[in-house]
A and B are shown apart, each in its own frame.
Chain A
């Protein structure tokens, strides 16, 4: 026992300061792909998960990236398209609407950018923790309790959700926790594309959460179907079976990206409450 105490003291504090301080991912981290307007952008078929699309009009060829569907594999930025698309390091990508996650640019002809991505309320990250605390306090009295719901994920998103409870991320310091029963939850963090074999269990679990409740789609599969898509065994995303409040892109989203998404979700809850 004494050794355990000594070890614990020797280890010291390992917890991250995020979101009070920004998190800088390592140089190789693959965040949001950045499409360079006017460049020789790749055809949609290069994307294994169907996140790229194109359309043609008077302005020329428009190429769009759906961040919700992106699996961040980096293939669209490989030769021969290197330069037209570069892999950015932005990971704070959560949004309240699928439309906010589409980035469209005009390709090939050098015309002006038509990026449509709505800026997220990132603002001064120094104030985020205070903002989150304030919102949690006003809406739910200091705490947000989430129920995790695996709707057919590959388990990567699930492991990142459980990482939120490890000593490094420790989301309990932000008033966020994961609970065992939907009856005890204020919302749900759903992972996976919603398989046929889980659809009923998913619906029943969400219905068991008292209303108003937050539904957070964690990762590409829950947000859009991801690389699994729609098929005989998969609904193709959480919003095919229930209303989703916040989408967190990533394959999987890194733990800080999930924390960011939960903070986005809290703003949503306040807005919904005000509307009722």
Chain B
């Protein structure tokens, strides 16, 4: 049964289907908002799909005069077609409610809370009434992503009560508050542990401390100006996010990026994965007090970042990609430098991994620590290394080909998975993927042919169009959704980062671990706060 037939069979009211945003995608408009849970349940249940992102928009100044919420789903089975299915509901400005799907699809939890905070659209039946994005002292009747709200000014702080953390209670249960400012050089977030002795009973993570209002900031800008913001949503995902934004914009513009530029983008994406994965392996060693591993990982990461600077003029590869193609070429001398550096990196990585695996005290800390069950990874739509280490075979490079993978004759991607779901599995998975990235860079370099680097972009950009892209960043699939307004400027941009779906999984994996192992568990997921909080 096709997706549309399944939806018709499960939904009481009328549905209206159309192709889009891309030619391979379907957008299904539900006549009755109350049909949403049944439709979403059918996609996740019968059609084996997962929630990719949720995008709310304020269209009160457009002909429809309403708010809209788009629930975007994607197939999860390996080998499934590259397709997004969007369930679209209209929400009346006079009655801003939608039925919640969180109890049905746990991955929708934060999406719905974010929509309530930023648009004032209430997910009726959501189990958690607490704000997510806006923190203490935010005026209750102000919604930053409504078009009527002026996002360029600061808002006075109102008196606030203490935030109600979700904690376990009972005899002998302790509460351990940690953060938002942490002891190391890391990003801010608050973790509230409920523990009995050393064992964690429950972890309530509160994030969005680094919420900068970037999606609002980008609205109304020319899509090219907004690109530089997208590139700076996250430091260590600079390539992935700039590529995702650029591909969404290129879809809107209807331009085709030249092959050489696509290969350079592919190289950049793998180099970003490489320095992240190797640095992360080193950082996990820090959690186990294995200093040789830490120092070696950091040194290898440093040598890769120095190479980034030689290639792109920036240690985070910023400035290499631009909408339409690549800003910088990779001439032969730099390619030779790249080849030599990666050859050296591979040997040193193998050496580091053999030292980790041969060290019983490190293995003892990594094995069976912070287990994420496969079913939990599926329910929360967990992405990237964390999903694959728990046996979920997903990789956006294969499932939604982008960058160099969208070229004819692109090399096959070997997606590896592990069954254990523990810290050791996540560390091992990173090493496997780092080696694969080195192989892929070689494959891409071999395919480089002389040719143009940039496609010509329209000015202005076409108005009222939607672009969607999914990029496998070092942390997993990031979904970008972009729409232009009538004048071809940015009307709405939304990023669902892999960390956004993975943070709730960290809280689950921490349960039953001991408190001193939390840094290890946390670092083995290695999530970004900045691209979650935006």
Residue of B187, B229, B295, B351 touching A166 (CB-CB under 8 A) = B295
- Residues of A164-193 whose CB lies within 8 A of B: 165-168, 178, 180-181, 192-193
Task: Answer yes or no: A251 CB below 8 A from chain B CBs.
Answer: yes
Task: Answer yes or no: A82 CB below 8 A from chain B CBs.
Answer: no
CB distance A155 to B234 under 8 Å?
yes
Instruction: Tell me the bound Cα distance from A201 to B182 in angstroms.
Output: 11
CB<8 Å pairs between A and B, sample of 25: A4-B355, A8-B292, A28-B328, A30-B314, A152-B188, A152-B209, A152-B530, A154-B234, A156-B316, A161-B185, A163-B302, A168-B302, A196-B138, A196-B157, A198-B180, A229-B217, A231-B152, A231-B153, A231-B154, A231-B212, A232-B151, A232-B213, A234-B212, A251-B232, A252-B235
Known contacts A157-B235, A158-B187; is-contact A228 B210 (Cβ 8 Å): no
Query: 1/0 per position for B159-194, CB-CB distance to A under 8 A?
Result: 000000000000000000000110111111000000
- Residues of B345-390 whose CB lies within 8 A of A: 351, 355, 358
Task: Answer yes or no: A128 CB below 8 A from chain B CBs.
Answer: no
Task: Answer yes or no: B258 CB below 8 A from chain A CBs.
Answer: no
Residue of B208, B310, B316, B328 touching A197 (CB-CB under 8 A) = B208
CB distance B309 to A155 under 8 Å?
no
Chain A residue with minimal CB distance to B328? A28
Known contacts A159-B236, A228-B214, A252-B235; is-contact A74 B319 (Cβ 8 Å): yes
Q: Residue among B135, B227, B311, B312 with the most chain A CB within 10 A? A: B135
CB distance A156 to B238 under 8 Å?
yes
Instruction: Tell me the bound Cα distance from A192 to B225 in angstroms.
Output: 20
Instruction: Tell me the bound Cα distance from A93 to B185 in angstroms.
Output: 23
Task: Answer yes or no: A84 CB below 8 A from chain B CBs.
Answer: no
Q: Residue among B318, B327, B351, B355 with the most chain A CB within 10 A? A: B318
| Size range of the chain B interface in the assembly | 35 or more
**Cβ–Cβ < 8 Å partners of B212 in chain A:** 152, 192-193, 195, 228, 231, 233-234
Instruction: Tell me the bound Cα distance from A228 to B301 in angstroms.
Output: 28
Chain B residue with minimal CB distance to A162? B185
Instruction: Tell me the bound Cα distance from A4 to B362 in angstroms.
Output: 14
CB distance A232 to B530 under 8 Å?
no
B287: min CB distance to chain A, Å: 14
Task: Answer yes or no: B98 CB below 8 A from chain A CBs.
Answer: no
User: A residues touching B (Cβ–Cβ < 8 Å)?
Assistant: 3-4, 7-8, 11, 14, 25-26, 28-30, 48-49, 71-75, 148-150, 152-163, 165-168, 178, 180-181, 192-193, 195-198, 201, 205, 226-235, 251-252, 254
Instruction: Tell me the bound Cα distance from A178 to B188 in angstroms.
Output: 16
Task: Answer yes or no: B228 CB below 8 A from chain A CBs.
Answer: yes
CB distance B154 to A196 under 8 Å?
yes
**Cβ–Cβ < 8 Å partners of B298 in chain A:** 163, 165-167
Residue of A14, A153, A168 touching B530 (CB-CB under 8 A) = A153
CB distance A201 to B188 under 8 Å?
yes
Nearest first, the 7 A-B pairs at minimum CB distance are A156-B235, A233-B213, A180-B183, A48-B228, A28-B313, A166-B298, A155-B235
Residue of A25, A74, A235 touching B154 (CB-CB under 8 A) = A235
B305: min CB distance to chain A, Å: 7
